Structure 1
Amino acid sequence: MSYTDKIRDMRSELRELNKTIPDATQGFGTLSKAVKVNGVLSLKEKEFVALGMAIAQRCEPCINFHVEALMKAGGTREELGDVLAMGIQMGGGPGLMYAGHALACWDELAAKE
């Protein structure tokens, strides 16, 4: 499966999670927006931090989303290399991404019953 497919599939799982627990996911969305638009760091710098943490936490959906966001924020491949090196050094999923997988798994298994 391509990374584009993985991102698309994760977004689909998150839409289902949003329907199931809208207050929790809306709260998370509000927090995400607030930390991205406020503060002294640029969006690109914040995406560097988020990607490094995603690597350290071993959250593949987070990694995919933050690589995409970093590209949109103007990051370069060379900058990515530095972030990856720091992520490796810190070595260690954020619950939201894995919660989406858990709900999708439940729904698939429940449909087979």
Structure 2
Amino acid sequence: MNEKIKEFREYRSAMNEKLLAGNNKVIKRIFNLDTNTYMEGALSTKVKEMLGLVSSMVLRCDDCIKYHLEKCHEQGVTNDEMMEIFSVANLVGGTIVIPHTRRAIEYWELLHEK
């Protein structure tokens, strides 16, 4: 596994553990809502992850972008689909999203390395 991917996953996991260890009811409920939102429903998990990625790009959250890129990769999103996702995010979010798209492309490529 690429070192950047490993580093991101380990950091995210460790910090989520610390956050949840605070045993705050609201934080736990937010995490639960997040988990339940991305489950299969009227929309497929794949579509929901693509929507999450666009939203994260428009909001310019690099950690969220990486997370949703990983989930899109797991869901079998193709390179062509990913370019359309990037197109929607840049149209909706404007040119300020371009730097995040550059980093997203870099991370997407890392996810495809064998």
Q: Which has the higher contact order (CA 8 A, sep 6+)?
A: 1
CA–CA distance in structure 2, aligned partners of residues 78 and 38 of structure 1:
23
Match of 1:73 in 2: 75
TM-score by length of 1: 0.71
1:37 to 36, 39, 42: 39
Runs of at least 5 residues in structure 2 that lack an aligned partner in the other structure: 95-114
CA–CA distance in structure 1, aligned partners of residues 15 and 65 of structure 2:
16
1:47 to 41, 44, 49: 49
The one-character-per-residue Cα deviations of 1:6-57 (angstroms, maximum 9, x if unpaired) are 2321221121111124422320122122222253111000001000000000
CA–CA distance in structure 2, aligned partners of residues 20 and 34 of structure 1:
21
User: Identity across aligned pairs (percent)?
Assistant: 22
Q: Secondary structure at the match of 2:38?
A: helix
Runs of at least 5 residues in structure 1 that lack an aligned partner in the other structure: 93-113
| Change in CA separation of 1:91 and 1:10 when aligned onto 2, cut-off 3 Å | same
Larger Rg: 1
CA–CA distance in structure 2, aligned partners of residues 17 and 38 of structure 1:
26
The Cα RMSD (Å) is: 1.8
CA–CA distance in structure 1, aligned partners of residues 23 and 85 of structure 2:
33
TM-score by length of 2: 0.71
